[in-house]
Amino acid sequence: MKTRITELLGIEHPIFQAAMSWASSNAELVIAVSNAGGLGVLAGGPMRPADFEKTLKAIKTGTNKPFGVNIPLNNSKAPQLLDIAHEARIPVMIASQGGPREHLARFRGIGTKWLHVVAYVEHAKKAEAAGVDALVVDGAEAGGHPPPNEVGTLVLVRRVVKAVKLPVVASGGIADGAGVAAMLALGAEAVQLGTRFIATPEASVHDAYKAAVLKADVGDTAFVGRGGHPVRQLRNAFSEKYSLREKAGATKDELEALFNSATLKQAALEGDVAWGKVEAGQSAGLVDEILPAAEVMRRLVNELEEARKRLSA
């Protein structure tokens, strides 16, 4: 299927594996998705610069297809990671959390396509004015850091598609080909899936994390940290404690300290799925088996085709 995004990036299918700190901070997942005709995306945020550089080399050895790199621009290591990504002449940048303007000319110079993650229509317009090539639009169902105002993907994607001329990649709550078809119907020209790709052998998170994603139903996530920089994660002892303290009227400082006491790394690397931040989207309720990433891609493409036939019948 051809869209402006598949044409822009030179990929076969309009499907991205979303950047996920730790889960996609490795070469294997990125290589598997890109080789299957989608866009694998390396999450550079939590990586040490030396590991980031090594992993980029491994990805380039493992695939000659386009792949993406995510760098949160407000990260303290961002300047170093950007230099390494530039040196490696990465084909696609998926930048988040911060302004793209000052980096565009340098990356354009080496042919990188720059996509920007946004969660508000105002930010979409700003990124378009700055000159990015496309937008990734993240709705409230998403795992990780969804929009604090909790506007869902269905509404937000449609709103942004109508507000900008740039092609849009829909993100948040998509787990199968029917979800992909729904987003394309809204006017998105590709989709990105995070949680679905956690349940793959290639995702570099602890087995207990993957098991928790399989077990979760659609209502089993919590939105933790309202009023700040909230995360969507699976409900667990940590999120319950946070919610109880929130309801009890705990001070902002207490809630902030509690929020910072749990980390994604704790869940992802140590397997502490009770007290760590087990970041995952509502789409966890649509994921019930661990499949190789290439098989996930194959099924997504087939299901998309089935959905299109169903709609045109």
Interface residues toward ligand FMN, by CB under 6 A: 18-21, 23, 43, 45, 70, 72, 96, 117, 138, 141-144, 171-174, 192-195, 279-281, 283
Q: Least Å distance between CB 184 and ligand FMN?
A: 16
Q: Least Å distance between CB 41 and ligand FMN?
A: 8
Strand-pairing partners, residue 42, are 69
Q: Least Å distance between CB 312 and ligand FMN?
A: 26
Give the residue with the Cβ less far from ligand FMN, 251 or 260: 260
Give the residue with the Cβ less far from ligand FMN, 72 or 91: 72
Q: Least Å distance between CB 31 and ligand FMN?
A: 18
Q: Least Å distance between CB 192 and ligand FMN?
A: 6
Give the residue with the Cβ less far from ligand FMN, 175 or 255: 175
Q: Least Å distance between CB 281 and ligand FMN?
A: 3
Q: Which residue is nearest to ligand FMN (CB)?
A: 194
Q: Tell me the residue length of the chain.
A: 313
Q: Which helix (H) or strand (E) holds 171?
A: strand 168-171
If phi > 0 it is left, if psi is from -120 to 50 it is alpha, else beta; for residue 97 that is left
Q: Least Å distance between CB 80 and ligand FMN?
A: 16
CB 189 within 8 A of CB 3: yes
What are the start-end ranges of the H helices in the chain?
4-9, 27-35, 49-62, 78-87, 101-108, 121-130, 153-163, 177-186, 195-198, 207-215, 237-247, 252-261, 264-268, 293-312
Q: Rounded distance, CA 41 to CA 17, Å? A: 6
Provide the 3-class DSSP secondary structure of residue 70.
strand
Give the residue with the Cβ less far from ligand FMN, 128 or 279: 279
Residue type, 184: L
Give the residue with the Cβ less far from ligand FMN, 43 or 157: 43
Tokens 């499949």 appear where? Answer: 291
- The answer for residues whose C-beta is within 8 angstroms of residue 309's C-beta and 6 or more apart is none
Give the residue with the Cβ less far from ligand FMN, 100 or 143: 143
Provide the 3-class DSSP secondary structure of residue 71.
strand
Give the residue with the Cβ less far from ligand FMN, 76 or 312: 76
